[in-house]
Structure formats: C-alpha cells, structure tokens
Amino acid sequence: MAASISFANFRLVAEHWFSLAGEGRSRTVHVYDSTGRLSLSRIFTPDTSEFAVGQVEYSYDGQGYLERTITISGLDTIGVIESSRDPDGRILSSKSFGRHGALSYLDSFAYSGAALVRVWRTDSQGRLSWVRIHDSVPGVMAVDTLFEPAAGIGLQPTMIEVDSLDALGQVVLETRFRRNVGEWLLDRLCVLSRDGERLVSVVTYESAVAPSKMLDSAVFSYDSNGNRIEEKWFDSVRSGTDLYRYSWENSTAGLQRFQVTLPLLAGARLDLPDDAVDVQLRGLDGRLLWRANVAGLRSLILPSRMGPHGLITISRRSKIPTGVRKSANFALSFGRNIP
C-alpha cells in the first residue's frame, strides 16, 4: 500500500560571499535542468555583474549520478573532476585534472558493507599523500592496519584524518595527524556541533592537548524549512573573516511524493510510476541508505547492500496543485529480478 505524504523540496539558487576582513565579495548563481539536476554554476564579482568570471558545468551518467564537473575561468578550462561508481551508485574513484588535461590527483574510496571506511589520495606520480579514515560502525572508532598512524609499517601518507561519527552516522569529530621525521603528530582537532541533522557550529583547535589554541570557528543559521541560509567564519580571536549567505527556491511545484514500506530485497526490480523523478531508500530507523535520480526510467534494480526491510519514497511529476493530497494511483511491482 502506498500513501501520499506532504513534503517540500528546496534547491539552492544563489550564494553570496563577503569578506569581513577586506573588500572582497562574489555571487554564485546555480542553474538546473528540466529534471531538476544542477547543470551550471556561474560566479560573478562586483566588477563583472553581467559576465561571469568563472563557471562550473555538471554532467551525469545514465542513472542520474554526477559523473563530471568542469571548472572554467575566463575562457580556459582549469579543472575537470571525473567520478566512477559501482552498480549501487557508490563512488569508487574521483580523478582530478588540471590545465591541459594533466592528472593532479586520484581519490579512491573503500567500503565495509554500506559504510564508507576509507578515502585515500595519490598524486600524479602515484604516491600516497593523504588518507581519511571513517568509523565503520557509528560510535566505534575504525581500526585500519594499513594506515594506522602508530604502526610505522606499510604505506606512509603525509597526512591522516580520522572521522568519528555519532549514532546517526554524522561526523562530530575530525582528528588530523601529520608525519614528522618518521612519527605521527596530532596537529588538528575539529569539533562539530549538531542539532539533529543540522550542523550549528564548527570549532578547530591546534591539538587535542588542553589548553589548545583555537584556530578558527564557524556558526550556521537556518530558515524555518531547515535550509542553511548563512554561515559566518571567525579567526582565532573571534574576529569575523568570511560571511556566506544562501538563497533557496521551492522546487516542489508539480511534484508528489509517495512512501511505501516493503522488504528491501537485494537485486529486486522496482517498477516505477509514470513521471517518477527520484527514489529514496531508508531503513526503518529513517536513516537514508540510497537515492537515485530516475527521470525517464520505468524500473530500476535495488542495490545489493539493502537490509531486510525499509521505506521507499518515490517523487513523481504531477499536475496536482501544491498542497493537495491524493491517494496513490499506481502499482508497484516488487520482485526478484531474474534474468
């Protein structure tokens, strides 16, 4: 049984940056395509109110995942990022190219089940330079023998960052180590404070040893819909350095959302209603497991890492006015996909 639920989707349409320590400022405008995907970001300064000084172009693969970004300054392409994904849509690698198509670095991603456990960067020569370790289980510190700072063996990057997660899988502490003459020193500690899913403040310290020098901090503000509308950054003496303001628009017009509770069978086929544009899969605890842009698709195969049960939320185009509730009028076929 599918139930209609009320909702509102918002998308970021503009960003404004102001330097609080000087005269700098800029404006970034975001453009979306007919399926609602971000397609172009254009950057303006006070001196270029009519002509953008730079822009970022976005392109997607056949499943609706972001595949490539191209950064342009003036008339020159100064950066390209290309991503590859597994059949479940999880990112496996991200290649960054600089001017003239030269490889700058490669980021690689490793998972344990559904959890991201490690990201590492190699430079254009294939040398390991940076590693980020994530909790494999929320609330439990990950143990990584290959990149363990105290191990002193194996591959040796120049920097390691460790993320600690809360029970909701959100990062609440970032710890950074740097290599110094053969030993690892803790040189950065970032504390993230949250109100539910909202990030409300960030404070970065020089080390974990008290009293530790504060390096910088930030506070974040939200509107009544939960959209971040402002963030303000401060230096070590709490003087303002940067201010960012964000503008949003309601993109709900012409959309309906339906939610279904069903077994999440790995590899099962989900037949989609006409004009479906987005599918989200959540566990029974409400945690987002997977989502996909499905504009133009009539069915899709569920990822192989699903749990036994969960919630499927489908957004579809409709001519029903915003705010009008109506029962679902489509059928869902949910069975094992057998070649």
- What pLDDT digit, counting tens, does each position of 131-155 carry? 888 754 444 444 444 454 444 444 5
Higher pLDDT, 177 or 236: 236
Beta strands 276-282 and 214-222, pairing class:
unpaired
Q: Which residues fall within 8 angstroms of residue 65, CB to CB, at 6 or more apart?
A: 83, 85, 89, 292, 293
Could you identify the residue written with the tokens 């330097």? 19
- pTM for this prediction: 0.68
In the predicted model, is pLDDT for residue 201 greater than 80? yes
Q: Which residues fall within 8 angstroms of residue 325, CB to CB, at 6 or more apart?
A: 4, 6
Cβ atoms < 10 Å from Cβ of 114: 16
52: amino acid identity, one letter: A
- At 28 the pLDDT is 93
pLDDT bracket for residue 339 (50, 70, 90): very low
Structure token digits, residue 241 = 């350095």
In the predicted model, is pLDDT for residue 65 greater than 70? yes
Cβ atoms < 10 Å from Cβ of 217: 19
Q: Whole-angstrom Cα distance, residue 5 to residue 7? A: 6
Cβ atoms < 10 Å from Cβ of 221: 14
CB 186 within 8 A of CB 167: no
- At 170 the pLDDT is 77
Could you identify the residue written with the tokens 């959540």? 282
Phi/psi for 204 (5° steps) reads -110, 130
DSSP, res 101: G
Q: Which residues fall within 8 angstroms of residue 297, CB to CB, at 6 or more apart?
A: 272, 276
Q: Which residues fall within 8 angstroms of residue 329, CB to CB, at 6 or more apart?
A: none
Higher pLDDT, 240 or 33: 240
pLDDT bracket for residue 270 (50, 70, 90): confident
The alpha carbon of residue 284 and the mean position of all alpha carbons in its chain are separated, in whole angstroms, by: 22
Best CA proximity match to 282, nearest among 253, 251, 303, 254: 303
Residues 321-330 have a mean pLDDT of 33
Q: Whole-angstrom Cα distance, residue 67 to residue 94? A: 9
Summary mean pLDDT of the chain:
75
DSSP, res 214: E
Give percent of the chain above pLDDT 90. Answer: 26
25: amino acid identity, one letter: R
